[in-house]
C-alpha cells in the first residue's frame, strides 16, 4: 500500500512517479477540436469567466489564484452540459452517418435529420449536474430522455433537470453505482441510448466523448490565463467523483504541457474517495471506495472510478487528497465572502472543496509539511475549477448563511 499522510482530518497520498505514463492522445488539443467546434454552435455559447482572486492570493502568500467559474455555463449552473451535449452530438452523428468534425447544432436541426433524431431516446443516471446537461441537450434536439437519480437526491436538483430540457426524472432507492447499472439495464431492454459519464468494461466510447466535451473548459481557462500573462499555472486542484472531469482536464494538461506539467492534486470527499483508494493500492488497478458514501458533495458521491480516466489520474496526478464535508463548506463560505476587491463566486458543495482545501493548506502552520511537498509558495499560480453554483439552493443557504458543517478542527 502507498503511504497515507494524515494531518487533522485531511489525508494525502503522494504519487512517487507522476508524469511517467503514456499521454492520452484522445484528449490532445487537436483531438478535442471537434468538441469546441460543436460547443461554439450552441445557443448562448461563450467562455465562462476565469476569476482572479488576487487579494485572497496575497492573504495566503501565493502569487495568484484563479478559479474557472462554471456556474455560468449555458445557464445550467454547472459544467456538465459540456459533456452531455457533445456526447449526444456524437451518438447522433454515428446513427445518422454525419461528420462529427464539422457538424453544428444547425445541421442537426435540419428537418431531414430531426425526423430521425426525435425518434431516439436517451437515458442516464446522475447526482444532478450530468443529468441536467443531458436533459438540456435532448431538449435542444426535441428528444425524449430518462434520468435516474440515486437515493438521497434532493427534489430541487431533480426539478432543475426537468426544467433544463426534455427529461423524465425519477429519484430511485438505489445508491449511485447501482442506479448506473439500472440505467444501463433500461437502455438494453428498451433500445435507448445510454449516455453515462463513467465507464466499465465494454462501455467506454460514450464516456470518452463526454470527457472530450469537458476539455472545452480547460482550453478556455488556459487561453484566459495567457491573456492574464501566465503561460501555465504552477498548481492545479481538481475535484473528483468517478474522475471523468478530473481525468479529462488532467489528460488535456498532460498533452499540452508534456514534461512541464503543473503539480496536479486530486481532491475527493473522505467518505467516498474511490480515486484516493485506488491510489492507495500499489497494483495500479481501480478500486471501489470504502467509506459510508454519505457526503454533502453530491456531485462527487461516486464509489467506483471511471475506467477511461483512472489510468490518467494514476499516471499524471502528483497528489491525492481526501477531505471531510466541512472543508467544502469552508470553501463555499470563503468564495461567498471574498477578500478585498475580489469578486464573489457562488460555489456549491461539489465546486468548493478545492478552495477549502487550498485555504487550509496555506493558512495553518500544521500543514507546512504538505505545503513544502507541493511547493506552494510566493511564486505559485494556482488554478481551480468551480464546477457548480448553488445547485441545491436550500443547502447552499444553510451552509453559507447559517454556518452548517462548521470546522471542528483545523
Q: Are 72 and 49 in contact (CB under 8 A)?
A: yes
The shares of helix, strand and coil residues in the chain, as percent rounded to the nearest 5, are 45, 15, 40
Catalytic entry in 64, 69, 127, 177: 127
Q: Are 374 and 331 in contact (CB under 8 A)?
A: no
**CATH of 81-196 among 3.30.360.10, 2.40.50.100, 3.40.50.720, 3.40.50.1100:** 3.40.50.1100
- Hunting for cell 440505467 — which residue is that? 183
Catalytic entry in 68, 80, 132, 166: 80
Backbone angles phi, psi at 322, to 5 degrees: -125, 125
pLDDT at 292: 87
Give the whole-angstrom CA distance, residue 183 versus residue 195.
9
Q: Are 304 and 242 in contact (CB under 8 A)?
A: yes
Helix and strand numbers (H, E) in the chain are 16, 12
Query: What SS3 class is residue 385?
Result: strand
pLDDT at 20: 85
pLDDT at 240: 98
Beta bridge partners of 171: 149
* Domain-wise residue ranges, the chain: 5-79+214-400, 81-196
- Bridge-based pairing of strands 235-239 and 381-386 is parallel
Q: Which grid coordinates belong to 274?
A: 474511490
Told to judge if 110 belongs to the known catalytic residues of this protein, a careful annotator would answer no
Give the whole-angstrom CA distance, residue 172 versus residue 109.
33
Q: Are 73 and 247 in contact (CB under 8 A)?
A: no
Give the whole-angstrom CA distance, residue 79 versus residue 249.
12
Q: Which grid coordinates belong to 74?
A: 449555458
**CATH of 5-79+214-400 among 3.40.605.10, 3.10.580.10, 3.40.50.1100, 3.50.30.30:** 3.40.50.1100
pLDDT at 410: 67
DSSP state of 200: B
Q: Nearest CA to 226 among 196, 264, 199, 257? A: 257
Give the whole-angstrom CA distance, residue 283 versus residue 281.
6
Q: What is the pLDDT along the chain (410 residues), one digit of tens a residue?
A: 899 999 998 999 999 889 888 999 999 999 999 999 999 999 989 999 999 999 999 999 999 999 999 999 999 999 999 999 999 999 999 999 999 999 999 999 999 999 999 999 999 999 889 999 999 999 999 999 999 999 999 999 999 999 999 899 999 999 999 999 999 999 999 999 999 999 999 999 999 999 999 999 999 999 999 999 999 999 999 999 999 999 999 999 999 999 999 999 999 999 999 999 999 998 999 999 988 889 999 999 999 999 999 999 999 999 999 999 999 999 999 999 999 999 999 999 999 999 999 999 999 999 999 999 999 999 999 999 999 999 999 999 999 999 999 998 76
Told to judge if 342 belongs to the known catalytic residues of this protein, a careful annotator would answer no
Q: At what angle do helices 33-40 and 205-227 cross, to 10 degrees?
A: 80
Q: Which grid coordinates belong to 91?
A: 451518438
Query: What SS3 class is residue 408?
Result: coil
Query: What SS3 class is residue 220?
Result: helix
Give the whole-angstrom CA distance, residue 399 versus residue 8.
21
Amino acid at each position: 500500500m502507498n503511504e497515507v499522510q494524515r494531518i487533522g482530518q485531511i489525508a494525502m497520498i503522494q504519487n512517487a512517479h507522476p508524469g511517467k505514463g503514456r499521454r492520452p492522445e484522445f484528449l490532445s488539443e487537436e483531438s478535442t477540436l471537434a468538441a469546441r467546434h460543436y460547443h461554439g454552435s450552441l445557443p448562448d455559447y461563450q467562455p465562462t469567466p476565469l476569476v482572479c482572486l488576487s487579494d485572497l492570493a496575497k492573504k495566503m502568500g501565493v502569487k495568484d489564484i484563479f478559479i474557472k467559474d462554471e456556474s455560468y455555463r449555458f445557464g445550467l449552473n454547472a459544467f456538465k452540459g459540456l459533456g452531455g451535449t457533445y456526447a449526444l452530438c456524437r451518438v447522433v452523428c454515428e446513427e445518422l452517418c454525419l461528420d462529427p468534425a464539422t457538424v453544428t447544432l444547425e445541421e442537426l436541426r435540419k428537418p431531414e435529420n430531426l425526423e430521425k433524431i426525435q425518434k431516439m431516446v436517451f437515458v442516464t443516471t446522475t447526482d444532478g449536474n450530468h443529468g441536467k446537461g443531458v436533459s438540456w441537450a435532448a431538449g435542444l434536439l426535441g428528444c425524449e430522455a430518462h434520468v435516474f437519480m440515486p437515493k438521497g437526491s434532493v427534489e430541487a436538483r431533480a426539478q432543475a433537470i426537468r426544467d433544463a430540457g426534455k427529461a423524465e426524472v425519477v429519484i430511485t432507492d438505489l445508491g449511485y453505482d447501482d442506479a448506473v447499472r439500472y440505467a444501463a439495464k433500461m437502455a438494453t431492454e428498451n433500445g435507448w441510448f445510454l449516455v453515462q459519464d463513467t465507464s466499465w468494461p465494454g462501455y467506454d466510447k460514450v464516456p470518452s466523448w463526454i470527457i472530450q466535451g469537458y476539455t472545452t473548459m480547460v482550453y478556455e481557462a488556459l487561453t484566459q490565463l495567457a491573456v492574464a500573462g501566465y503561460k501555465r499555472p504552477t498548481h492545479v486542484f481538481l475535484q473528483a467523483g468517478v474522475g471523468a472531469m478530473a481525468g479529462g482536464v488532467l489528460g488535456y494538461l498532460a498533452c499540452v504541457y508534456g514534461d512541464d506539467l503543473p503539480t496536479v492534486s486530486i481532491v475527493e470527499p473522505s467518505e467516498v474517495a474511490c480515486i484516493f483508494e485506488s491510489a492507495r493500492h500499489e497494483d495500479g488497478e481501480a478500486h471501489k471506495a470504502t467509506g459510508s458514501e454519505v457526503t454533502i458533495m453530491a456531485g462527487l458521491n461516486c464509489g467506483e472510478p471511471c475506467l477511461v480516466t483512472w489510468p490518467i489520474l494514476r499516471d499524471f496526478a502528483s497528489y491525492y487528497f481526501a477531505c471531510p464535508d466541512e472543508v467544502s463548506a469552508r470553501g463555499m463560505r470563503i468564495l461567498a465572502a471574498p477578500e478585498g476587491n475580489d469578486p464573489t463566486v457562488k460555489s456549491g458543495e461539489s465546486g468548493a472543496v478545492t478552495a477549502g482545501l487550498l485555504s487550509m493548506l496555506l493558512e495553518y502552520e500544521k500543514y507546512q509539511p504538505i505545503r513544502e511537498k507541493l511547493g506552494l509558495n510566493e511564486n505559485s499560480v494556482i488554478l481551480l475549477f468551480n464546477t457548480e453554483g448553488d445547485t441545491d439552493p436550500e443547502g447552499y443557504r444553510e451552509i453559507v448563511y447559517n454556518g452548517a458543517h462548521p470546522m471542528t478542527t483545523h
